[in-house]
Structure 1
Amino acid sequence: MSVAKAAGTKRNLLLCFDAFGTLFTPSVPIPSAYAVAATRHGIQCGDPKNPQMVATRFKRAFKEQSNSNPNYGKATGLGAEKWWGNVIRKTFEEFLQPGQQVPQALVTDLLERYSTRDGYNLYHDVKPFFDMLKENAAHKPDNKTAWRWSKTVVGIVTNSDDRVPGILESFGLKIGPRRIGTPDQRTAQVCLEDDISFVVLSYDVGVEKPDRQMFDAAIEML
Structure 2
Amino acid sequence: MNRHRLRLVTFDAFGTLFRMREHPALTYQRIAQAHGLKVVSEPDRLKASFQDAYRKQGASNPVFGRLSQGSRPWWKSVVRNTLIGSGCPKADVDGALDPVFAELFDLYAQAAPYEVYPEVVPVLETLRTTVCEDKVPNGMGKGTKFWMGVVSNSDDRTEAILQSLGLAKYFDFVLTAYHFGSEKPGRGIFDEARLLARNCKAEECLHLGDDLERDYNGPKLIGWNSVLIRRNNDHPVPAGVATASSLKAAFADD
TM-score range for the pair, normalised by the shorter chain length: 0.7 to 0.9
> What residue in structure 2 maps to residue 73 of structure 1?
65
> What residue in structure 1 maps to residue 89 of structure 2?
96
Q: Distance in 2 between matches of 1:62 and 1:165?
A: 21
TM-score, normalising length: structure 1: 0.74
Identity %: 32
> What residue in structure 1 maps to residue 75 of structure 2?
84
Deviation per residue, 1:129-183 (Å, 9 max, x gap): 222223345xxx779xxxx974311011111111111101001123xxxxxxxxx
Q: In the alignment, does 2:22 pair up with 1:31?
A: no
Deviation per residue, 1:4-31 (Å, 9 max, x gap): xxxxxx7552111000000010011222
TM-score, normalising length: structure 2: 0.65
Query: What is the number of equivalent residue pairs in this alignment?
Result: 184
Aligned partners of 2:111 and 2:161 also within 8 Å? yes
Aligned partners of 1:11 and 1:150 also within 8 Å? no
Name the larger-Rg structure. Answer: 1
> What residue in structure 2 maps to residue 116 of structure 1?
110
- Distance of aligned partners of 1:99 and 1:115 in 2 relative to their CA distance in 1, 3 Å threshold: closer
> What residue in structure 2 maps to residue 204 of structure 1?
179
Q: Distance in 2 between matches of 1:62 and 1:173?
A: 27
Runs of 4+ in 1 over 6 A off after TM superposition: none
SS in 1 for 2:124: helix
The gaps in structure 2 that reach 5 residues or longer are 135-141, 198-254
Q: Distance in 1 between matches of 2:59 and 2:133?
A: 52
In the TM superposition, 1:15-54 aligns within 5 A as: 15-46=9-40, 50-54=42-46
Q: In the alignment, does 2:134 pair up with 1:134?
A: no
- Distance of aligned partners of 1:57 and 1:128 in 2 relative to their CA distance in 1, 3 Å threshold: same
Between 12-21 and 198-207, the greater mean CA deviation after superposition: 198-207
SS in 2 for 1:112: helix
The gaps in structure 1 that reach 5 residues or longer are 1-9, 175-193
SS in 1 for 2:175: strand
> What residue in structure 1 maps to residue 206 of structure 2?
none
CA RMSD of aligned residues (A): 2.4
Q: Distance in 2 between matches of 1:202 and 1:133?
A: 24
